[in-house]
Copies of this chain bind each other. A is one copy, B any other.
Amino acid sequence: MYDLIILGMGPGGYEAALTALRKKLKIAIVEKSKIGGNCLNRACIPTKYFWTGAHQIEKLPILKEYGIDINDYSINFSKAVQGKDKAISFLRKSLNMLLKTKKVPIYKGEGKIIGQNEIEVRKEDGSKEIIKGKNILISTGSIPVSVGNIIPDGKYIITTEDLLEKTEDLPEEIVIIGGGVAGCELGYILSAYGSKVHIVELLDRLLPMPNITEEVSRYLLRKFKKMKIKTYLKTTVESYKIIDNKVQVELSDGNQLLADKMLLSIGRKPNTDIDTIGIVKDEKGFIKVNGKMQTNFENIYACGDVVNSPMLAYTASYEAKIAVDNITGNNVEADYSLIPYVLFSGFEIATVGLNENQAKEKGIEVTTGYYPYTYNEKAVDEHESEGFVRLVFEKDSKRIIGGTIVGTGASELIHIIQMAVKERYTAEDLHNFIYFHPSLSEIFIYATYDIVAGKLF
């Protein structure tokens, strides 16, 4: 009998394994596909790999400003795919090596919980094996959803997973359904590599989520226009058909597009067909858990995309640690109050805490501080002047309650704001903090100047 069986080896399962091994638990893993889950194999990690390349392509013309004259170059997406595979394979191998060194049994196959301590693993060859554990962690992740009558075929109609894991050649022209995070990330990447990109979004702006302000949506839209990415807002797909090796798409605004592929990026749903014992799920299929990540069976835990918390790789790993902590006798509960949200599109976009609108909805009066990257010395040194920061403070106390950063480094700088919000820093605390010069972090000095020392104009 194992101390813990982990069902699904994505960012949740892997973090659980790492923590459990350190805490000397006897663990086993059930995984039907590749170690690392969606995040490593077909989501976060390949996206950021391609983004790095896309951003480099965008920056090629300014290399001459550093005395680097590129006289002849070519862009080859297929080689980027090979590079991506190499990077991911390195990371996957290092995970595998660790599990092997620690002699962790990996049951290859699809697991189903058939008893409070029992998992039946159906292997690829059709054979079955039953394994037993004192505790079980369900971290089986999620799968892409499709809309209405648009059915992915893996060739003309593809999911983000198809694109990130299986696509070898750049589509010359692509229609992306959904202007959310994945749509804006992949649209930028494909465009930078040379695709003609169309993004179709049902709502009236890109990234139409409560934690992204319209200021950010507009800023991104401007960049997309410059890049000649075509966006169709308040628009849906009326119909489509495959003609001559192409997909022909009729939009609700009357436009007709002809592309090599249509990419579905409209969301994901939990992968929770994993038991026969009555683990309780909500109406959307998410497994119900308490703050300790326990299901209705006290020894069965769940984390990540299968539970109804933000569908992010890093909440999965966070929840995994909470679950293992509880299994080993610590009594801790998950706290989602301060999660950073980050995406990599035309630039890095990061946000944490409340923005102006979210604060208003909660009845909090705010004042905001703004500063563009334009005059930040490091940004100028790096020719990375695109971007801005907007910080949100309680009007009376001047304590920071949230912030948005757009531009280079945002995905790291956001943690400074996150910590400041956590510690209830005032604008003055942030302003008088001693930042290195020249650093991007200095934007926080200048975004708080008006509030702390009065306006300049």
**Residues of chain A having any CB pair with chain B under 8 Å:** 11, 18-19, 21-24, 39-40, 44-45, 48-50, 52-53, 56-57, 60, 63-81, 83, 86-87, 90-91, 94, 98, 102, 193, 312-315, 317-318, 321, 338-342, 350, 375, 377-378, 380-383, 409, 411-416, 418-420, 423, 432-441, 449-450, 453-456
Residue picked from A70, A76, A383, most chain B C-beta under 10 Å: A70
CB <8 Å contact, A339 and B434: yes
Which B residues are in CB contact (< 8 Å) with A57?
66, 68
Which B residues are in CB contact (< 8 Å) with A65?
79-80, 83, 86-87
How many Å lie between the Cα of A225 and that of B413 in the bound state?
33
Which B residues are in CB contact (< 8 Å) with A50?
66
CB <8 Å contact, B24 and A314: no
CB <8 Å contact, A69 and B74: yes
13 contacts between A and B (CB under 8 A): A19-B453, A22-B456, A24-B454, A56-B63, A56-B66, A60-B68, A71-B71, A314-B434, A340-B434, A412-B412, A415-B433, A416-B419, A419-B420
Looking across the interface, which residue of chain B has its beta carbon closest to that of A378?
Answer: B48
CB <8 Å contact, B69 and A71: no
How many Å lie between the Cα of A342 and that of B377 in the bound state?
15
Given contacts A50-B66, A342-B436, 8 further A-B contacts (CB under 8 A): A22-B450, A45-B377, A52-B381, A64-B83, A69-B74, A69-B76, A87-B381, A341-B436
Which B residues are in CB contact (< 8 Å) with A411?
436, 439
Which B residues are in CB contact (< 8 Å) with A381?
45, 48-49, 52, 87
| In the complex with contacts A24-B454, A377-B40, A420-B419, A66-B80 CB distance below 8 A | yes
CB <8 Å contact, B438 and A44: yes
How many Å lie between the Cα of A56 and that of B59 in the bound state?
10
How many Å lie between the Cα of A297 and that of B190 in the bound state?
64
Q: Write the nearest CB–CB distance from A164 to chain B, whole angstroms.
A: 13
Q: Write the nearest CB–CB distance from A230 to chain B, whole angstroms.
A: 24
